[in-house]
Amino acid sequence: MKEWTDQRIPIWVPPLPGEALDSWLEAYARRLRVTTHVFMAFVGLRGSRPSRMTERLSGSEREILSQVTGLSPQELAAMTLEPYEGLTVTFKSGQDGMNRPPTWRYYGTHSRFCPACLDDTRGRWLLAWRQPWSFACLRHRRLLLERCPACEQFVRAQGTRVGGPSKPAHCTRGRHRTEGCRRVLVACGFSLAQSPAQILPASGLVLQAQQHVDALLQDRFSQPGSARTQLHDMYSLGWRSLAGLATDLGSAPRVVHQVLEETGGAMPIQTHAQDATDVRSIAIGTALARLADPRPTPADPKLFEWILKTSDQLSTAQDGSSPSSRATAWRRASPHLSGYALARLDADLTLIARVRYGTAAPRPYWRSLTQDQIRRRAASLPDKLWPSWTMRLLTPALANGRSADRFRRAASTLLMLPGTRLDYGPATALLDHKPNAKARRMLDSYPQDVLASVIAQLAWAIDEQGAPIDYARRRRLFREDTIRLDLPALNTISTKLGWDSEPARTRLIRWHLLDLLLGSSPESVQDKITTHHRFRLHMPRPLKDFLHDQAEANLERFGIDEPVRWEPPDDWATVDTWPGFDSDNIDHGLASHLAAAGFSEALLVRELGLTTTHFRLYCESLGITITPSPKPARRPTGRTRGKGVPRVGPLAPDQLHDRYIKQKMTTAQIGRLAGCSGSTVSQALREAGISTPQRRPNGVFERTIDRDWLETEYRIKGRSAPDIARELGLHKNPVIKLIKKYEIPRNTPGLHSNPFAPLDIQLSPTMAAVNRTPNCVQRLRHLIQLPGQPHVAAAAKALGLRDSVLRYQINAIEKTTGFPVITWRTSPLAATAPGRELLAEAELLLLLLDRHSSQTVTGEPQPGRRSAH
């Protein structure tokens, strides 16, 4: 409070905590034994109305009241509804008065009240009673009143302009009375403290709802967005629950009848209006809305379903049953609540509608984007879906080059639809490519549940997280005639690679430079698309690095500070099972090793278990280059290699010994490297004195491999046929034939081989479950190195993995074990109690497995190993 000045009123009446401004002014006037009208004129505010001032003070009103009463402007503003602007009330811009509130239709020109509170405070009125969301007194457990029982008018805190000072806690509303020949205005004068009010149960649902709302209003400064969103959702559910009472009360859950009983047992007055003003109707709607709020989950799921069902019935009766009309009905609710409401329609929607409203996502989320938000999303998308995400989504049935390109364009177009009114055609225009009818029809035969879910999740994540690349700017700046390619540097690299200067190859290189910049594959009218894919797959590393540097130079030329390429993180969208192949489930070390060793694309595809298209997407996403196999040399005509002329190249004796003995390559593989047949390689081996396995006579396997031993290794230990064949020094085909001949039941499809079976060690139940999962040896090797690392990101960097890959592997093991193995939130990382036992067993098994592998390579005998000779 300010110091006492000459302008201050010498008598001081302090406001009560939470008191409304007009109530305090009325109390001040009563203390001075005048009416509020006279008091306002005395302090210099003639013409100002206390009820209007309680809404919002003007600058002059705030300054004058501060001078004459000693209260600061902040204290005076706290006695008005101004701090609740945009949350529970809305003021007219630049003028007096209030617009429609954000939620319940209540303007605050009159006040609700609790009779017991008025009796306790001798007629002082709380500001909270002016709120649309105030319907119960938590102190006295009563439903608030809003009309005088005597005159049935809405009550006010201040008196009339006639008569003397008002009486505390009495109705101040005026009414006309005839005295002789005149009609005079007199105050009602009813004692409001004696008004009967509905008593509420102490632990009832209505009081709990009021407590919840009060907590939200108290958090309006710390979390304004959250409080506003939750109040809007409660309002959306509240007025629908009121409408449901009139639509289908017979199927309402028990909790609905409980709320009605708490508030008197009768139906609410307002059931069809979205803008309820009746205090009892608002109390019922708010209590039911709190129980049905789906975030994080509804307290009463049956009530939530009942509200959604009656809302659908009401929407169908008024606007029809189209998804658009139902979406519009939820436009004022939060994106999460709207998504939950629309998810009920998922089974009846088309793919475009499911994507637009996000109804198939694990957490349905829908909102209506503005034009600026739509343009920002378009700028974050390439015109073709990123390769790693295409690899996950593309089914093997569509896995060919042309279909994959069409699918990538169609999927990228679908990313423009969530939260918009766009159709497929206008969405393609925003990505600067032409609509493709074949691509659109292809989506109809695709697994739509997964596609609709992933597209919605990706779209919302891109809106929230953003992308580091502005693809729209790149599409605008970079074209085949605007990109720059350093031709002298390219000629130097071509010379080192032994290439001639060919215009066709230069055109291919320019095409791939544009592909790097745009994050897509630009169409070419001169070359087949398969030619570009093959060229990308077999592009030498020096040329690949050169193109990356050229892309950075083109970006720098326009002052663009962005990465050349980028893909959304793996955790931006999740599904139970991917239709395609998840790169996290591929052994990256094996893929890189085989690619560097010069194995053919066909062999790599078979070893990794992928389709050719998925393998190329995998290489594109990780930047893997496959060394092309040399073309077979032409056989000389009319002449043969001269006698005594030494063999050179891959057939030279030293190279033959290295590849055949050390690298364990087959004659067919060596033949592909040398450009000759396998028989020629066999001849070269004999000339070099390198012994080759002799052909075994028929029936030798049956005599040397016992059926019981084979059944034990295959069925009981769970080893695979190739694993058993490697131990016996055989090809897998003879082992498979013996399994069929002995009529040994085949292992369950999809069950992975037991890598620890050759050790003849009894595994713990937990390890027995882990070792039948994919890539368990690699995952266990990574897992045992985690304790002591500062965090997961540092561990992933030390292991040469992506953070998301390491987390996926750890989660896969912990999902199998059923308990956490690593404590994620400690620094450094540590193993849990059961995790330490698992890690100790894993270290022992891996050590023994490494010893067994080394002995197998050196040819040392193994315990329990059966010889095939």
Three-state secondary structure of 690-747: CCCCCCCCCCHHHHHCCHHHHHHHHHHCCCCHHHHHHHHCCCHHHHHHHHHHCCCCCC
> How far apart, in Å, are the Cα atoms of 723 and each of 300, 542, 610, 707, 719?
55, 38, 21, 17, 6
Domain membership of residue 9 (yes or no) is no
Do 365 and 453 have their domain in common?
yes
Q: Please state the separation of Cα 803 from the chain's center in Å.
A: 18
252-266, 404-418, 824-838, 850-864: the lowest-pLDDT one: 850-864
Looking at per-residue pLDDT, the higher value among 269 and 20 belongs to 20
Residue 576 domain-assigned (yes or no)? no
Predicted local confidence at residue 867, as pLDDT: 34
- What is the separation of C-alpha 126 from the centre of its chain, rounded to a whole number of angstroms? 44
**Euclidean distance between the first and final Cα of the chain, in Å?**
105
Do 763 and 744 share a domain, yes or no? no
pLDDT of residue 261: 93
Residue 517 and residue 587 in one domain: no
**Cβ atoms within 10 A of the Cβ of 264, count?**
13
CB atoms within 10 A of CB 841: 17
Residue type, 52: R
Give the chain's mean pLDDT.
81
Greater model confidence, 477 or 706: 477
Domain endpoint, select from 753, 775, 790: 753
Mean pLDDT across 455-484 = 91
Q: Is the residue at 78 inside a domain? A: yes
- Tell which phi-psi region holds residue 189, choosing left (phi > 0), alpha (psi between -120 and 50) or beta: left
Q: What is the domain count for the chain?
A: 8
Q: Are residues 298 and 379 in the same domain?
A: no
Q: What is the pLDDT of residue 726?
A: 63
Residue 438 lies in a domain: yes
Q: Which of 389-403, 408-422, 429-443 has the highest mean pLDDT?
A: 408-422
pLDDT digit string, tens, across residues 623-682: 887 766 544 444 444 445 555 567 777 788 888 888 888 777 777 778 767 778 777 888
Last residue of a domain, one of 311, 337, 367: 311
Which of 705, 738, 753 is a domain's end point?
Answer: 753
660 and 799 both lie in a single domain: no
Residue 742 has pLDDT above 60, yes or no: yes
CA dihedral 531, 537, 540, 546 (to 10 degrees): 80
What average pLDDT does this structure show over 34-41? 87
Q: Is residue 640 part of a domain?
A: no
Q: What is the pLDDT of residue 757?
A: 67
User: 170 and 209 share a domain?
Assistant: no
Q: What is the mean pLDDT of residues 35-63?
A: 88
Instruction: Round to whole Å and give the CA distance between 349 and 356.
Output: 10
Secondary structure (3-state) at 802: coil
Q: Which of 235-244, 321-330, 338-347, 595-604 has the lowest mean pLDDT?
A: 321-330
Residues 78 and 187 in one domain: yes
- CB-based contacts of 296: which residues, under 8 Å, 6+ apart? none
Q: What tokens does 636 get?
A: 């000389």
The H or E element that residue 311 is part of is: helix 301-319
One domain for residues 822 and 764: yes
Q: Is residue 94 part of a domain?
A: yes
List, in sequence order, the alpha helices (H) in 538-677.
541-557, 588-596, 601-608, 612-622, 653-657, 667-674
> For residue range 343-393, what is the model confidence (pLDDT) as tens digits?
877 877 888 888 988 888 887 777 788 999 999 999 999 988 999 999 999
Q: Residue 831: which residues within 8 A CB-CB, separation 6 or more?
A: 786, 787, 821, 822, 823, 838, 839
Give CA separation, 42 vs 4, 64, 366, 529, in Å. 18, 11, 56, 88
Cβ-based neighbours of 605, under 8 Å, separated by 6 or more: 611, 612, 615
Could you tell me if 258 and 305 lie in one domain? yes
Cβ pair 133, 231 in contact under 8 A: yes
Whether residue 277 lies inside any domain: the answer is yes
Cα 46 to chain center, whole Å? 58
Position 317 scores a pLDDT of: 64
Confidence of residue 717 (pLDDT cuts 50, 70, 90): low
Q: Looking at the predicted structure, is the pLDDT value of residue 827 above 90?
A: no
For 59-64, what is the mean pLDDT? 90
Q: Is the pLDDT of residue 196 over 90?
A: yes
Residues 719 and 761 both lie in one domain = no
Would 337 be classed as within a structural domain? no
The answer to whether residues 35 and 155 belong to one domain is yes
Select the more confidently predicted residue: 299 or 434: 299
Residues 472-478: what's their mean pLDDT?
91
Find residue 126's DSSP bridge partners: 19
**From CA 71, how far away is CA 399, in angstroms rounded?**
76
Q: Is the pLDDT of residue 207 over 70?
A: yes
- Identity of residue 350: T
Same domain, 231 and 294: yes
Domain that holds residue 494: 476-557
* Residue range 87-139, pLDDT digits in tens: 888 888 777 778 888 888 765 678 899 999 999 999 999 999 988 899 999 99
Please report, as a single letter, which amino acid is at residue 132.
Answer: P
